[in-house]
Amino acid sequence: MKTTFQLFLLAGIAMHTVTAFAICSPVPGADQIWSNPSLHWVLIGEMHGSNETPFAFENLVCDALARGKQVTVALERPSSEQSSLDDILTAQNLSSAKEHLLKLPGWQKGMDGRASEAMLRLLISLRTLRKEYPALRVFAFEAPYAGTAAGARDEAMGRALLALKARQPNHLILVLTGNVHAMQRAMFGYDFAAMYLPQKEVVTLEATDRGGESWSNSGGACGASEGGVPDKSFSRPYGIYFDPSLAPFGTVNGVLALGRPLTASPPAAGEPTPLPACREKFLLQQHALNKAK
């Protein structure tokens, strides 16, 4: 028997043309964000490649808009995609805009969960929301960077988010990114994107789950595999909790507990031909596992 959440998720997937309010609901605990006028950035750190986190993030955006916030959504997509992302929100012909987006390299070769079907659904849902809230914007903050230093990419992303404040000074910037980039204390010997933002103006939350699968690129193999960021309490209800000690790893302000197992969301553009090395490695690993059973 499907849970209420699963039925709600399926409705959100299938009913893109329905009014935005029919496919999103307030996020428990989010009032702690909306009531803080000093906040300018809210970072949600996720395990890429699930259906559940983009769906919860969509609800967070909708909740913010319903509370009267002007919102810019920042996604971990290459800045070169900006015009195509804008078209998803504004072009008269959505089918054409979607077709163009999925032909871009980051979607054709996106095997790490960031170019998933769930991410595409999120974008289309934002298009629906924008009809009710024309000030809604989407920003691709994965900026180009030079050099091969371990933290160069995070620095470029952090500075891109920082610069966004000058462009949208009255907007609350809601950011969906990989969970490591949302950390507020250095690991692996370098600073993360969130650390380039004024700490008094930013909240970072780690999305936690109850196990399940995500489509990710791990250890050089990409596909639907077990693992996420299991909540420290598998009975914790869906919602936002401001307590750094609840985070399974790293330093953040709290957690966005999904309250559900993850389900994997495959690449929106399908599998490329020929298969990339990470996909071949994953399929070989699965074959070996099945053979061993």
Asked if 230 and 71 count as a contact pair (C-beta separation under 8 A), the reply is no
Instruction: Give the DSSP H/E element, type plus range, for residue 157.
Output: helix 152-167
Dump strand ranges (E) for 165-274.
Answer: 172-178, 202-208, 213-218, 221-226, 239-241, 254-257
> Under DSSP, is residue 239 helix (H, G, I), strand (E, B) or coil?
strand
What was the pLDDT predicted at 1? 44
What was the pLDDT predicted at 31? 96
Q: pLDDT in tens for each of the 293 residues of the chain?
A: 444 444 444 444 333 333 334 456 899 999 999 999 999 999 999 999 999 999 999 999 999 999 999 999 999 999 999 999 999 999 999 999 999 999 999 999 999 999 999 999 999 999 999 999 999 999 999 999 998 899 999 999 999 999 999 999 999 999 999 999 999 999 999 999 999 999 999 999 999 999 999 999 999 999 999 989 999 999 999 999 999 999 999 999 999 999 999 999 999 999 999 999 999 999 999 989 888 87
What was the pLDDT predicted at 291? 86
Distance CA 221, CA 241 (A): 33
Distance CA 135, CA 131 (A): 9
User: Token pair for residue 204?
Assistant: 């970072």
Q: Which residues of 48-71 are buried (b: 16+ CB within 10 A; e: fewer)?
A: bbbbbbbbbbbbbbbbbbbeebeb
φ and ψ at residue 245, rounded to 5 degrees: -70, -15
